[in-house]
Structure 1
Amino acid sequence: MAKLSVNINKIATIRNARGGNNPDLIKVALDCERFGAQGITVHPRPDERHIRYQDVLDLKNVVTTEFNIEGNPTPDFLELVKKVKPEQVTLVPDAPDAITSNAGWDTVKHQAFLKLTIKELKDLGMRVSIFVDPLAEMVEAAKETGTDRIELYTEAYAKNYHQNREAAIAPYKSVAMLAQKLGLGLNAGHDLDLDNLKYLHQNLPGLLEVSIGHALICDALYYGLENTIQLYLRQLDPTPTLP
């Protein structure tokens, strides 16, 4: 069963819209864990428009499941994760003004930089995952960086799922098999939701973890946070369902 890591960026966005501390980010993170989430993900950005660097420091003191920090490995970001030392760091090549992550690493072009950065983080005891598109050459080059895992950028899958789910999953299934062959751990994330998650899970061999934020928080507005987390966990349950 792949693990569910809940990205709480959107909770911070709501809090920041009014100032103060409502909703309480720390309480929400602890509640997510209490409701069954197996990890907490945050993605601090330089402008701190949602998750603040201080939030990351505060969360480290209370999160008891896997703590995953995503972000572009700028000097400030690297200084933060070296201080916090989360269980996992996910390196994402997003621009400072990006609304959301929109591309994986060019692991060929940035090979030297990634090798150096990944070694530095792993030497401090952190597991490292890097965000990649479902392209064989990018996965093969990712192996050469020394990363522990890759996280497949699943926007294209989600966008095309309802038109032709077999075609949408095909490149992801292919690179998942390649990752297994290369000995890379496999994560996935971006635009995954209650419609497309189960099929992804069923068709990606070796999938270890998904991180989901936007869709999960939107669903929680209707279903409640506890029920929503349980609904997502059911999509990751490998037990066959009766017809």
Structure 2
Amino acid sequence: MSAKLGVNVDHIATIREARKIREPDPVTAALIAELAGCHGITAHLREDKRHIQDRDIRLLRGTVTTKLNLKIAPTAEMLQFATNVQPDLVTLVSENRQEITTEGGLNVTAKIDELAKFVMTLKSNDIAVCVFIEPETEQVKAAKKIGADFVEFNTGKYAAACDLGSIQEVDREVSAIEDMTVLARKYGLRVLAGHGLNYRNVGAIAAIEGIEEINVGHSIVSRAVFVGMEKAVKEMLEAIRR
């Protein structure tokens, strides 16, 4: 069975925020993506609100019919927002105001007590919790310890190795993700993967047994500029199923 596809609509909002106007609308993009066959919508509400805005998330919550995955940093402000909006899934991520995009996985081992309380609050509000982490043994164990339901493995290093054409590094990263997927599932954690994936490199990750869903954003939005959102999503679904 093929991995499912979650479409991240952040960069539709990036284009909109370049002019601070109303278009293009990430909510409309999410609707088209769902109609094209994706299995969920992902949006990252950053503390600096550089792309997705509070209003976008509220509108997405009212319109998404598949699954709404809200990515947030583990802060008090974001916790309150998430419990008010009630997404289907919250993914906790590391966040740095100066970064262009997410630079690495959340260091769960360094904040176990703090994150455990955060997760407990979300789950007491019937919100499933995922942590975006590096494919490392200690991070998987820590994810289990804090009570997460899912892990999303950062595929950024894999994607970078693909861009460089480093076959050895690609193989090393794929093996690490495979091994950590086995470990995560052994601990009862469900597994997602994403970051830097595109039409050329997504296949090897989607083929890993045990990965339920692939999250892709920038590559789909980039392709949509030329062929439209519907076709871009359908092409990604085809790339995943190959």
TM-score bucket (shorter structure): over 0.9
**Partner Cα separation in structure 1 for residue 140 and residue 151 of structure 2:** 8
**Partner Cα separation in structure 1 for residue 124 and residue 19 of structure 2:** 40
Match of 1:173 among 169, 174, 178: 178
Matches within 5 A, 1:63-212: 63-161=64-162, 162-164=165-167, 165-202=170-207, 204-212=208-216
Identity of aligned residues (%): 34
TM-score, normalised with respect to structure 1: 0.93
2:234 paired residue number: 230
Aligned structure 1 segments of 4 or more residues deviating by more than 3 angstroms: none
Once the two structures are superposed, residues 16-56 of structure 1 have per-residue CA deviations (whole angstroms, 9 ceiling, x without a partner) of 11222111222221111111111111101122110011111
For the residue of structure 1 that corresponds to 2:107, the secondary structure is coil
1:220 paired residue number: 224
TM-score, normalised with respect to structure 2: 0.94
Whether 2:16 is the aligned partner of 1:15: answer: yes
Residue identity opposite 2:172 in structure 1: A
**Partner Cα separation in structure 2 for residue 218 and residue 170 of structure 1:** 29
Q: Which runs of 5+ in 2 are unaligned?
A: none
Residue identity opposite 2:85 in structure 1: V
**Partner Cα separation in structure 1 for residue 97 and residue 20 of structure 2:** 22
For the residue of structure 1 that corresponds to 2:215, the secondary structure is strand
Task: Give 1:92 deviation, angstroms.
Answer: 0.3
Residues 98-107 or 143-152, more deviating: 98-107
For the residue of structure 2 that corresponds to 1:6, the secondary structure is strand
Task: Give 1:97 deviation, angstroms.
Answer: 3.2
Residues 142, 227 of structure 1: CA spacing in aligned structure 2 closer, same or farther, 3 A cutoff? same
For the residue of structure 2 that corresponds to 1:109, the secondary structure is helix
**Partner Cα separation in structure 2 for residue 96 and residue 76 of structure 1:** 16
Once the two structures are superposed, residues 92-128 of structure 1 have per-residue CA deviations (whole angstroms, 9 ceiling, x without a partner) of 0212333211121222211101111111101111110
**Partner Cα separation in structure 2 for residue 139 and residue 122 of structure 1:** 19
**Partner Cα separation in structure 1 for residue 22 and residue 107 of structure 2:** 38
Task: Give 1:14 deviation, angstroms.
Answer: 0.8
Residue identity opposite 1:214 in structure 2: H
For the residue of structure 1 that corresponds to 2:109, the secondary structure is coil
Once the two structures are superposed, residues 167-206 of structure 1 have per-residue CA deviations (whole angstroms, 9 ceiling, x without a partner) of 331111111111111111001110001111111111x221
Task: Give 1:235 deviation, angstroms.
Answer: 2.4
Residue identity opposite 2:123 in structure 1: K
Matched length: 237
**Partner Cα separation in structure 1 for residue 12 and residue 59 of structure 2:** 15
Once the two structures are superposed, residues 103-161 of structure 1 have per-residue CA deviations (whole angstroms, 9 ceiling, x without a partner) of 21222211101111111101111110001101111111211111001010110011113
For the residue of structure 2 that corresponds to 1:110, the secondary structure is helix
Q: Which runs of 5+ in 1 are unaligned?
A: none
For the residue of structure 2 that corresponds to 1:18, the secondary structure is coil
